[in-house]
């Protein structure tokens, strides 16, 4: 495989016009605070409740830290991964002495970016680190990029072992009488210390997912048919096993492209009740269901809403016990089935300053100690340990230590009318202490498009609010979370409606007197970057400056990006074919764009290839437009680098101020 992983903090720029004035010292200082990486990316509690482990960021790279709770100790680093060698995704406890961690990697192979992963185990003191991902046999007919996932942390007969998925590849039999034809996804039981492994579930070529009961028994399997061309079809079929049986029985089907065709999408199994919990459609929105896993499957509706999707399951502990469900209206709401956690969540929210949202992150084996996070729009998040027996709450660590003591802006749920009168939900962030009138303003559409914005902390919006801008996040039609009718055909195939709603957000800011018409800009990331560019194709005079980060610029190019992946047919159907592909592609309509454009993109972006921004820059220059492209070599879609994010923020601010005729 050609192409090395080059992770550099430097950036390259190309421009068709003079650069805007350099950022001011104040802007750069603020950008450094808001652009700093999270102090904690992920955190977990040991089964005995005496230690936590977390993945944090450090100038040397990502680190795994362990904190002793009984002694009130400081975080001790036990493993370091330089930023140029991959990305630590998570670390969790296999036992009270042993951790399992996952690393993701990206490789650029002649312009195509591939991701792969590996799992390893390590002692809490940093010793005895070993790779858990199975070694690829020398005679394997292909390389496997999938390092596996842990699907069960509790194997009763083998403490310290886990159940891991593994993708098997057949072996070349030339020169050998032994024929190994294992192919597809299976499950292994792996001892995290000795590396002793045994096949737990035979591999199947069409298998995509296995779900256990949290106690070492596989109860559900998801499969997806493969075409003769090697592409996955767009329908998942789920099967279940009755207790003490190996026979697979049909459970449900799920269309992975059209959310309105989700029959039952299983997420978890309750061993005691012998039911599966999952999501399905009910009167146009996603709802929570249970299905009994006995001789006859009975489906029961547990919770639905007419206004929003019930979209997340609340789980706790090593066995992933289902304790409730959540959904987002103006704010995310949690409904607990567990009465103790329901009361505790309400009490803790009232007791902590600002009445933050409470999230239970992890629990000890006996659930006597809970790891939780409190967060809000003005609180990026603080982790706590709650001891049930002692009834004591102890503050542990902040999510963003660089922002401690910084005044942050409040976020207000609002709605505005689209051109056809539909009320569009949105979130308005105003500069701290401002009157909320006559401001420079930014419309900031979210990524996805199958996503939505929610009330809470957002580092991009908070930086711009600190610099004096009003920021509006619209949940335009095409967003997820509001039901199938709101989602429509998705934000690409229904781009005219989605982008029309985005533009109406800008018009509302002007009409309400919040934004000065000459100081209205748009900033977006991923699909949000696409929306930022396409907004000016639909209404060239509305926004006076465009900042697009890792944007989609050409829908046909995005479709073909996945041609070498098994998911090509699914992605092709999602994007669609027809006139909307050309009409909805900013790069094909660059001549219509009047506002200056600033583009940012990482060179090993596996989500949206950097060729999208390069094409957009080329087409804008060819049309005589003002455009600047900033490339971040070796960075992926999220631009997980403090220097890169600092540069993104400070240069965006300088660019907008120049376009708006403001002082740096």
pLDDT per residue over 510-547, tens digit each? 999 999 999 999 999 999 999 999 999 999 999 999 99
- Note the pLDDT of residue 568: 81
Mean pLDDT of 234-253: 95
Confidence of residue 172 (pLDDT cuts 50, 70, 90): low
Q: Which residue has the higher pLDDT, 223 or 564?
A: 223
Residue 30, SS3 per DSSP: helix
- The Cα–Cα gap between 19 and 16 comes to 9
Q: Is the pLDDT of residue 142 over 70?
A: no
Length of the chain: 664
User: What is the number of alpha carbons within 13 Å of residue 635 lying toward its C-beta?
Assistant: 24
pTM for the whole thing? 0.94
* 185 membership: H or E segment, kind and range: strand 184-191
User: What is the number of alpha carbons within 13 Å of residue 498 lying toward its C-beta?
Assistant: 32
Q: Report the range of poorest mean pLDDT among 176-180, 303-307, 412-416, 457-461.
A: 176-180
Confidence of residue 180 (pLDDT cuts 50, 70, 90): low
Q: Is the pLDDT of residue 138 over 90?
A: no
- Note the pLDDT of residue 270: 97
User: What is the number of alpha carbons within 13 Å of residue 481 lying toward its C-beta?
Assistant: 25
What is the separation, in whole angstroms, between the first and last Cα of the chain? 46
Mean pLDDT of the chain: 92
- Note the pLDDT of residue 228: 75
- The Cα–Cα gap between 555 and 560 comes to 9
Instruction: List strands edge to edge, sheet with 232-240.
Output: 207-212, 218-226, 232-240, 249-255
Q: Is the pLDDT of residue 297 over 90?
A: no
DSSP string, 94-130: SSSSEEEEEEEEEEEETTEEEEEEEEEEEETTS---E
- The Cα–Cα gap between 88 and 61 comes to 10
Residue owning tokens 């933050």? 356
Mean pLDDT of 294-309: 95
**Tokens in use for 246?**
């190996």
Per-residue pLDDT reduced to its tens digit, 4-60: 322 333 344 444 443 577 889 999 999 999 999 999 999 999 999 999 999 999 988
- Note the pLDDT of residue 230: 76
- Note the pLDDT of residue 143: 57
């Amino acid at each position: 495989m050609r192409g090395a992983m080059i992770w550099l903090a430097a950036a390259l720029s190309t421009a068709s016009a003079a650069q805007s004035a350099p950022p001011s010292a104040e802007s750069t200082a603020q950008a450094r605070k808001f652009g700093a990486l999270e102090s904690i990316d992920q955190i977990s509690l040991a089964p005995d409740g005496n230690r936590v482990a977390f993945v944090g960021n450090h100038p040397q790279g990502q680190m795994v830290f362990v904190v002793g709770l009984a002694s009130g100790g400081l975080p001790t680093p036990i493993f370091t991964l330089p930023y140029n060698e991959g990305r630590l995704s998570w670390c969790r406890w296999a036992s009270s002495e042993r951790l399992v961690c996952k690393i993701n990697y990206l490789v650029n192979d002649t312009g195509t970016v591939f991701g792969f992963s590996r799992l390893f185990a390590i002692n809490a003191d940093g010793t005895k680190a070993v790779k858990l991902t199975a070694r690829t046999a020398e005679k394997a007919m292909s390389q496997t990029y999938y390092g596996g996932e842990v699907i069960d942390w509790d194997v009763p007969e083998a403490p310290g072992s886990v159940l891991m998925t593994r993708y098997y590849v057949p072996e070349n039999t030339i020169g050998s009488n032994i024929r190994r034809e294992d192919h597809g996804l299976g499950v292994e039981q792996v001892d995290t210390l000795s590396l002793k492994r045994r096949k737990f579930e035979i591999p199947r070529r069409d298998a995509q997912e296995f779900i256990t009961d949290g106690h070492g028994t596989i109860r559900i399997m998801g499969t997806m048919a493969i075409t003769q061309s090697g592409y996955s079809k767009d329908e998942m079929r789920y099967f279940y096993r009755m207790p003490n049986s190996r026979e697979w029985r049909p459970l449900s089907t799920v269309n992975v492209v059209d959310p309105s065709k989700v029959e039952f999408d299983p997420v978890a199994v309750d061993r005691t009740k012998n039911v599966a919990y999952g999501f399905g459609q009910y009167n146009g929105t996603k709802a929570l269901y249970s299905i009994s896993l006995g001789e006859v499957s009975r489906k029961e509706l547990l919770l639905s809403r007419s206004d929003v999707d019930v979209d997340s399951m609340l789980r706790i502990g090593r066995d992933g016990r289902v304790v409730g469900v959540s959904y987002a209206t103006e704010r995310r709401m949690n409904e607990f089935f567990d009465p103790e956690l329901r009361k505790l969540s309400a009490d803790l929210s009232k007791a902590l300053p600002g009445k933050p949202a409470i999230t239970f992150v992890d629990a000890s084996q006996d659930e006597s100690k809970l790891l939780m996070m409190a967060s809000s729009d003005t609180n990026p998040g603080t982790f706590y340990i709650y001891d049930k027996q002692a009834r004591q709450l102890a503050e542990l660590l902040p999510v963003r230590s660089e922002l401690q003591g910084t005044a942050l802006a409040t976020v207000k749920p609002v709605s505005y009318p689209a051109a056809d009168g539909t009320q569009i939900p949105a979130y308005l962030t105003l500069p701290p202490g401002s009157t909320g009138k006559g401001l420079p303003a930014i419309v900031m559409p979210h990524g996805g498009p199958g996503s939505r914005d929610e009330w809470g902390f957002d580092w991009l919006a908070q930086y711009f609010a600190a610099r004096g801008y009003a920021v509006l996040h619209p949940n335009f039609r095409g967003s997820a979370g509001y039901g199938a009718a709101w989602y429509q055909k998705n934000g690409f195939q229904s781009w005219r409606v989605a982008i029309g709603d985005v533009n109406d957000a800008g018009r509302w800011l002007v009409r309400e007197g919040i934004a000065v018409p000459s100081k209205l800009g748009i900033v977006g990331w991923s699909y949000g970057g696409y929306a930022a560019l396409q907004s000016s194709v639909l209404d060239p005079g509305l926004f006076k400056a465009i900042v697009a980060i890792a944007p989609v610029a050409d829908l046909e190019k995005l479709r073909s990006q996945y041609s070498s992946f098994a998911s090509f047919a699914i992605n092709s159907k999602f994007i669609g074919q027809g006139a909307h592909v050309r009409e909805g592609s900013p790069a094909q309509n660059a001549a219509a764009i009047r506002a200056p454009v600033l583009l940012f993109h990482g060179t090993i972006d596996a989500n949206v290839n950097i060729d999208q921004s390069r094409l957009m820059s080329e087409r804008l220059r060819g049309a005589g437009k003002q455009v600047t492209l900033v490339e971040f070599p070796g960075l992926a879609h999220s631009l997980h680098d403090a220097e890169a994010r600092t540069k993104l923020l400070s240069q965006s601010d300088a660019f907008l101020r120049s376009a708006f005729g403001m002082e740096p």
